[in-house]
Amino acid sequence: MNPMALPAAFARLWLHQRLPAARLTALRERLLHRLLRDAYETVPFYRERWDAAGVSPEEIHTVGDLARLPIVTKTELRAAGEKALSAALRGRADLRTLRTSGSSGRPFTIHELPEFRVVRRAAFLRALCAGPYRPGRRLLLITNAGERPPAAWLGWRYISSEVPAARMAEALESFRPYCVYALLAPLRRLLDHYRSTGRRPPRPQAVYTSAESLDPLVRRRIETLFDAPVLDIYGMTETGPLAWQCAPGGPYHLAEDTTIVELLPAPVPGRARLVVTSLWRKVMPLVRYDTGDLAVAAGGGACACGCRFGTIARVEGRIVDCIRLPDGESLSPYAVTLALEEVGGIARYRVVQEALDRFRVEVEPEAGPGSGLEEAIRGALSALLGSGATIRVAFRDSLDPPPGRKFKVVENRLQEAGELCAS
């Protein structure tokens, strides 16, 4: 691959976020028209679905017209197999195949070309540079990509998210990075390591988090341990970064030049379901792809950072893990995390809905169960879930999920939970 491909792509994306609205709209529509034309002509899955819906790509003139096309799900793409791939591109020698389990643990195979990987990396670099990081500064990345030699001009060092927390701490203390980027699951284990040893890590300029919804309790623990701002990047392996924060606790800028993000009605009042179209995926297009995530829209207004892209206020977790109440109402996972935010003495927790009126709260206490902690947890959740809810609190030494699975702060195990995704 051309060594200048990534710097050139990064420069283009950096300029895109400052385009006037008319020029950005023209860019998005040009990319969308190309995507839809190629998908219809070369991908049987989309051609059959769009024909069945009675819609031709030639009828989609604007981003708003996308609503005429059917939404697709991961389950449908998985079932389609090779029919979801471009017949013109799927035989290329440089095609790369990845498998991702996501939060469900069910494997999903995605296919991509070098051109898309360059755009995804450039978009990630742009998200980092929305904060204090700049190319050439030392960046420690704790990810599931495994350990790699650092990229010379970027100043990066990778360490696997699967290694023991002590080894992560050793890498952090020897490398002394300018910034840290980490998936939340290994970062929680790193927090636990420093809490148990009583040591403090080097102070980076910022900690970037990703892969799971960032709840207020974990954000506060990260900020306290590292004495640094926490910036979240929301994305998926399938699409790359979809949104990022430029300021701690601030709104998320949408990657409007690489994706189209639709905020559609959700089963939870005041929330929206995220549906995404990836503008740069060719061999396995994603057109109106249901992410299964909830988001909250943000108000308008220009951001001080200079980015002109639209924003969302936050991502609130999986739709399937919304809490269902006996009266038929639903609560987002974020509402549960807010209820427990002010309860002191909790290092980590998980809330599991087992029935409409029955919940299990598993807790890693900071220093033993402590007097009154169980009652404080019940009190905080009873105010949200109702006085008729049965709340069982169980203290655990560790809440680490099995390898390959994401940690869920809130998990709905009702048989009806799956219906939330389709409602």
- Note the pLDDT of residue 422: 42
- Note the pLDDT of residue 146: 58
Average pLDDT on 374-401 reads 89
Return the higher-pLDDT residue of 298 and 260: 260
Average pLDDT on 116-137 reads 95
Report the distance separating Cα 6 and Cα 199, nearest Å: 38
- Note the pLDDT of residue 423: 41
Average pLDDT on 108-129 reads 92
| Stretch (H or E) spanning 53 | helix 44-53
Segment among 84-98, 159-173, 222-236 with least mean pLDDT: 84-98
What is the pLDDT of the chain when averaged over all its residues?
89
Quote the DSSP letter at residue 309: S
At the second CATH level, the architecture of 323-422 is: 2-Layer Sandwich (3.30)
Return the higher-pLDDT residue of 65 and 99: 65
pLDDT at 345 over 50: yes
Q: Concatenate the DSSP letters of all residues of 199-247 into one string.
A: ------SEEEEESS---HHHHHHHHHHHTS-EEEEEEETTTEEEEEESS
- Note the pLDDT of residue 151: 63
Return the higher-pLDDT residue of 316 and 39: 39
pLDDT at 150 over 70: no
Q: Bridge-partner residues for 96, per DSSP?
A: 112
Average pLDDT on 198-202 reads 93
Segment among 56-60, 152-156, 204-208, 404-408 with least mean pLDDT: 404-408
- Note the pLDDT of residue 404: 60
Domain ranges of the chain: 323-422
pLDDT at 256 over 90: yes
pLDDT at 419 over 80: no
Match 């790359």 to its residue by tokens. 240
Taking the model in full, what pTM does it have? 0.89
Question: Where does the pLDDT of residue 403 fall: very low under 50, low under 70, confident under 90, or very high at 90 and above?
Answer: low
Q: Concatenate the DSSP letters of all residues of 236-278 into one string.
A: ETTTEEEEEESSTT-PEEE-TTTEEEEEEE-SSTT-EEEEEEE
Average pLDDT on 45-71 reads 95
- Note the pLDDT of residue 421: 46
Chain segment 276-296, per-residue pLDDT in tens: 999 999 999 999 999 999 999
Average pLDDT on 234-244 reads 92
Q: Bridge-partner residues for 142, per DSSP?
A: 159, 182
Q: Which percentage of the chain shows pLDDT scores above 70?
A: 92
- Note the pLDDT of residue 63: 94
Average pLDDT on 225-251 reads 94
Q: Which percentage of the chain shows pLDDT scores above 90?
A: 61
* 365: nearest Cα among 379, 376, 353: 376
- Note the pLDDT of residue 328: 83
CB of 399 within 8 A of CB of 184? no
- Note the pLDDT of residue 407: 79
